[in-house]
């Protein structure tokens, strides 16, 4: 744990560490974290997969009508919200509410056009 002593000395003196020392310390920290990461990775990936499935189920429930599904299918980042509303025949207010709800759950990003973050088929 030489890096901890070096860091503590530099930190208490109020000085910045030289760049090569910083890089070395960061590499040591990373190397110490790799076994921990490897140990917890399967559980982490399982939680991520469950979260994706939950999100997918939620989106499927939200876009269960044909008009809402058309809105979802058109949200590929190439059209504005207004264009999607016109092409899907869902009124602008409903389209806006749907996109707001989808943004809140992380199913779409709005930069600058609505873009879906997952496929639900």
Which of these CATH numbers, 1.10.3470, 1.10.287, 1.10.10, 2.60.40, describes 21-116? 1.10.10
Q: Sign of the C-alpha dihedral, residues 25, 27, 30, 31?
A: negative
How many CB atoms lie under 10 A from the CB of residue 78?
11
Q: d(Cα 88, Cα 85) in Å, to the nearest integer?
A: 5
Q: What residue spans define the domains of the chain?
A: 21-116
DSSP state of 105: T
| Prediction pTM value | 0.69
pLDDT digits (tens, 9 = 90+) for 16-68: 767 888 899 999 999 999 999 999 999 999 999 999 999 999 999 999 999 99
- Asked if the model's pLDDT at residue 96 lies above 90, the reply is yes
What pLDDT score does 38 carry?
Answer: 93
What pLDDT score does 111 carry?
Answer: 81
Tell me which residue of 79, 58, 71, 119 sits closest to 99, measured CA to CA.
Answer: 71
The mean pLDDT of the chain is 89
């Amino acid at each position: 744990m030489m890096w901890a002593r070096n860091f503590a000395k530099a930190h208490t003196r109020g000085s910045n560490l030289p760049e090569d020392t910083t890089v070395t310390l960061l590499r040591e920290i990373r190397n110490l974290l790799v076994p921990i990461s490897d140990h917890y990775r399967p559980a982490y990936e399982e939680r991520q997969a469950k979260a994706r499935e939950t999100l997918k189920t939620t989106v499927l429930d939200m876009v269960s009508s044909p008009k809402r599904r058309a809105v979802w299918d058109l949200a590929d980042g190439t059209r504005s919200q207004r264009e999607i509303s016109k092409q899907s025949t869902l009124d602008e207010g409903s389209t806006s509410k749907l996109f707001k709800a989808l943004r809140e759950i992380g199913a779409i990003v709005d930069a600058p056009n609505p873009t879906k973050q997952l496929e639900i088929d």
